[in-house]
Structures are given as C-alpha cells and as structure tokens.
Amino acid sequence: MDVPQIVSATAARVEPKVSIRGLSKIFGEGPGATIALQDIDLDVGDHTFVTLVGASGCGKSTLLRIIAGLEFHTGGEIVANGQAVTGPGADRAMVFQQYSLFPWLNVAQNIRFSRKLRANKGDFTSAEVEAASGRADTLLNLMGLQAAEKSFPNQLSGGMQQRVAIARALMPRPPILLMDEPFGALDAQTREVMHDLIQYVFLLEKSTIVFVTHDVEEAIYLGQRVVVMAPRPGRIDSIYDVPLPLQRSQDMKLSPEFVRLKGEIVNRIRETSGMKTDLELLDKLCGQLKI
C-alpha cells in the first residue's frame, strides 16, 4: 500500500510546476529595443518555495509577470501546470506589491471575489458554495483578519492590506502562487511577521510559490532555492539551494550557514550589477579622504 504512494509522490515531484526553457523577452522594436530577459532556463518543482532576487533591472519582476501571463515572452517556452502559458489564469494567483485590493469591497468580499467570478459562470454546486464560505472563514482566521472582516481596505494598515491580498489569492487554492515584492512597502517589523505567516501558509497549503524580492535576507529566509538574477541583459546568474530546514525560524538568520550564504549572494549581486563601478568610485573617494 505504501509503495505505490511513494512512487506516485516522486513522479509528481519530477514533473515541475513551472518549466521555462530558453525564454527571452525583448521590449520594443528596432534600435530602441532592450533585452529584458535572455535565455532563461528554470524549473520550479511541486510544493517548492523559490525566490528570485537581484538588482533592479535584472528582469525578476518581468519573469514573474510572464509566468502569470501578464506579459508575453518573445522567445522560448514556458509551461505552467502542464500547459503552455498564453495569458493570465486562475491557476496562477498573484500577490502584488500594493494597491491591488478592490477598495469598494470589504475584506470578506475581497477574499471571496474569485468565488464570485466562478459563481458568475454558474459552474458551482451547492456543496461547493458551502465549502467556499468555510474556506473564506479559514483564510480570515489564518491571516488574523476576523476582526477586520467588515472593514474596507482604506481602513487597514499596509500589513493588513497585504494579508487580505494573500488570503484573496489563496481563496481558490491556486496550484501556483506568484508574489511580486509583496512586502516591499511594509516596515521591517511587519515584514518579519509576514515572513513567518507566508512560511506557515506555504507549509499548510502545500503551495508552490515563486517570490520576487530585492532583499537577499528575505530571499534566503523564505526560499528553498534562491535564484540570483543579473541585469543587462536580464538573466539567471546562479541558483543556490538553501541549507536550512523546511520550517524556518527567525533565529536561523544568525546561523553561520545563513550568514555565509547571505554574504555570498550579496557579493554575487554586487559583482553582476552596475553597482560595481559605483563601489569602485566610492572606494577611490574614501581613499582620497584617507579614512
């Protein structure tokens, strides 16, 4: 009884959730065209947490938006959930940096929005409706939003708004969750809380998450794999497997593995980005000051 289960589980893991081959993206045409992404190869396995990190202009957000189907690639292939990506779809939920909530709907209505879309199309049984309201309540609890259920987005803090956005994205149990610097606009303390929350969601919901950030510490703390990208042209520079247990805790940030990996990745980003010339200039100036 156990054996076939293991086999099927492994088989499921072999098949990646997102598979990208030789993908490129060029903005514009003619001499004004810029290469946003060049020759991207990336696999995201089922139930893995992958973070994309890099300096601005490395195309990490563009890559995420291509997976979401919000931008179109100009070359190569991209397959998500076993289907070629041709546009946005409910199987790839996305959490944006901010301002994505519907301000005219309260928290509970925002979270139920995807249900409303499906109910609209009439593909609902009454059992599913029941399950949906249970699901919404679960997510309200999970995100600590019970007290804010009837509040409107403009009454909530930035952190609370992002909780709603995450709950709304999770509502239809999307196989893939895409996050585009979702905590970029939050203060440091709120971010830490959100990190543990999204970790918990990842373990509980068994999601596959692709998470874009410019914060190396965030990338390591959340990701099982950290994909470092480099600009001009946007490309994958290196991929790191994070040598930490699946379940993270804040004190791991002080562990030697964490610190070493952080140093390595920060250096890598520094070397591959345009920052290098800036840093050399800064060194020269400091030398002149004799400090």
Partner 1 sequence: MTNRRNARPGLWTVRGPMSQRNYWLFAAAGLLIPLLAWWGLASAELVSKVFMPGPAEVWSRVVKWSTEDNLLGDTFISIYRVTTGWALSAVIALPLGLLIGSFRPVQALLEPLTDFIRYMPAVAFIPLVMLWVGIDESSKISIIFIGTFFQMVLMVAEDVRRVPVAQVEAAQTMGADRREMVELVLLQSAKPALLDTMRITMGWAWTYLVVAEIVAANSGLGYSILRAQRYLQTDKIFAGIIIIGLIGLITDQIFRLAHRKAFPWMYRKS
Of positions 102, 187, 249, 267, contacts partner 1 by CB under 8 A: 102
Residues 258-287 that bind partner 1 (CB under 8 A): none
Of positions 163, 168, 195, 248, contacts partner 1 by CB under 8 A: 168
Lay out the site mask for partner 1 across 30-69 (x = CB under 8 A, - = otherwise): --------------------------------------xx
Sole window of 90-98, 199-207, 211-219, 221-229 interacting with partner 1 (rule: CB under 8 A): 90-98
Is 77 within 8 Å of 21 (Cβ atoms)?
A: yes
Of positions 113, 184, 185, 262, contacts partner 1 by CB under 8 A: 113
Q: Of 121 and 290, which has the nearer Cβ to partner 1?
A: 121
172 is a contact residue toward partner 1 (CB under 8 A): yes
* Residue 103: CB minimum distance to partner 1, A: 6
How far is residue 238's CA from residue 257's CA, in Å, rounded to a whole number?
A: 18
119 is a contact residue toward partner 1 (CB under 8 A): no
Residue 206: CB partners within 8 Å, gap ≥ 6? 47
117 is a contact residue toward partner 1 (CB under 8 A): yes
Q: What is the phi/psi pair of residue 76, to 5°?
A: 85, -170
Of 87, 216, 102, which is closest to residue 153 (Cα–Cα)?
A: 102
Report residue 146 CA to chain centroid gap: 25
Report residue 279 CA to chain centroid gap: 29
> Omega into 231 within 30° of 0, i.e. cis?
no
- 54-80: b (≥16 Cβ within 10 Å) or e: bbebbbbbbbbbbbbbebebeebebeb
Question: Under DSSP, is residue 34 helix (H, G, I), strand (E, B) or coil?
Answer: strand
Residues 218-247 that bind partner 1 (CB under 8 A): none
Of positions 60, 92, 135, 163, contacts partner 1 by CB under 8 A: 92
Residues 122-141 that bind partner 1 (CB under 8 A): none
In the chain, alpha helices (H): 2-14, 60-68, 107-111, 113-120, 126-142, 158-170, 188-205, 216-222, 256-272, 275-289
Q: Of 121 and 284, which has the nearer Cβ to partner 1?
A: 121
Of positions 120, 125, 126, 288, contacts partner 1 by CB under 8 A: 120
Q: Of 144 and 263, which has the nearer Cβ to partner 1?
A: 144
Of positions 36, 44, 164, 178, contacts partner 1 by CB under 8 A: 178
Is 230 within 8 Å of 214 (Cβ atoms)?
A: no
Chain residues binding partner 1 by CB under 8 A are 68-70, 88-90, 92-94, 96-104, 106, 113-114, 116-118, 120-121, 151-152, 154-156, 165, 168-169, 172, 178
